[in-house]
Amino acid sequence: MGSAQDEQAIGHRAALLRKILTDLAIMTVIGLFLAIIGPFGTIANPFPVRLLSWLAFAYIGYVIYSPMSFVVERMHRGLDLPLLPLWIFATLIATVPMTVMVYIVQFMPNWPPVPPLDEALMSYFYVFVIGGGVTLLFNVIGSGGENSQREDSGVDDRVEAAVTEQSPPARPADTLPVPPSNPLIDQLAGELGSDVIALEMEDHYVRVHTALGSELVLMRLRDAMAYLSDVEGRQVHRSWWVARLAVEDIKREGRNVRLVLSGGLEAPVARAQVSELKTAGWI
């Protein structure tokens, strides 16, 4: 079991490294593009200066804006809030330190003077336009397809419920385990088995929870759900699919409902799904 956990940890680190390298490559392309067009008056500078400046801004921006995804995702799951307003709020906050860094870089190697309020606000606006656009590109438009096709673009839980109703009918409760030729199961370590109890969307990846552990798979949630169409289950939240046989208890905290699964794993239930689960006999 220890060896399996080590392999899983290595796999997670490799997936994270691939994501960071991919993101940095994208930021390099964005920096090069901005250097070529020279927005906000930078076209007057020589191209080498523009290139170094915009590449520096792109990498600094990645360091500042990227951690906001952790905060947004936790608030999204914990408070069941739509992603788009959360990302707008997060971008407004992250733009403050980014504006400070941009202002400092412009005066290097000298320490910059304190800008007047109107100049500071204008700088903030410019940085927000660029930072907000890149953040939208990374986390709302291009985050694996899920964020741009569900409530993250303003669609509420009722649409999610409608999609669930149109999904293929579930098989009886005595459904056999997913065969080993399943493209989703094939990507899991053998030690995790094939008894999938839940799917959890994490950024560009899906965390596959089995009775023996979990592992990240580079796949969209809707594709992973399609590979488990023979298992009785349903999407209970925009970021979660749950196998019915894995549900052991129900936890209520005010208006929030969570399904307690095998091994103590908890899956949030979208508020619009509560009545649907009651009708289906899950709750």
Measured from the Cβ of residue 236, the count of other Cβ atoms closer than 10 Å reads: 25
Q: Tokens 């409530």 sit at which residue?
A: 151
How do residues 115-132 score in pLDDT, each as one tens digit? 889 888 988 998 888 877
The proportion of the chain whose per-residue pLDDT surpasses 90, expressed as a percent, equals: 14
Query: What 3-state class would DSSP assign to 267?
Result: strand
pLDDT at position 147, please? 41
CB 142 within 8 A of CB 148: yes
- Residue 65 and residue 89 in contact, taking contact as beta carbons nearer than 8 Å: no
Q: Give the separation between CA 169 and CA 132, rounded to whole angstroms.
A: 41
Closest Cα partner for 183 from 217, 144, 233, 232?
A: 217
- Per-residue confidence (pLDDT) for residue 7, from 0 to 100: 58
CB-CB contact of 182 with 194 (8 Å): yes
Q: What is the mean pLDDT of residues 140-151?
A: 44
| Fold (CATH) for 171-280 | OB fold (Dihydrolipoamide Acetyltransferase, E2P) (2.40.50)
235 or 110, higher pLDDT: 235
Please state, in angstroms and rounded to a whole number, the distance separating the CA atoms of residues 5 and 114. Answer: 52
Pairing of strands 196-202, 247-253: unpaired
pTM of the model: 0.47
Domain boundaries, the chain: 2-141, 171-280
Report in angstroms the alpha-carbon separations of 193 from 36, 47, 211. 51, 55, 8
Helices of type H across 108-152: 117-136
C-alpha torsion angle, residues 68, 26, 98, 130 (rounded to 10): -110
Comparing 1-15, 186-200, 254-268, which segment has the lowest mean pLDDT? 1-15
**What average pLDDT score do residues 143-149 get?**
42
Query: CA angle, 193 as apex, 192 and 198 as ends, to 5°?
Result: 75
Amino acid type, 221: L
| From 108-117, 155-164, 209-218, the region with the lowest mean pLDDT | 155-164
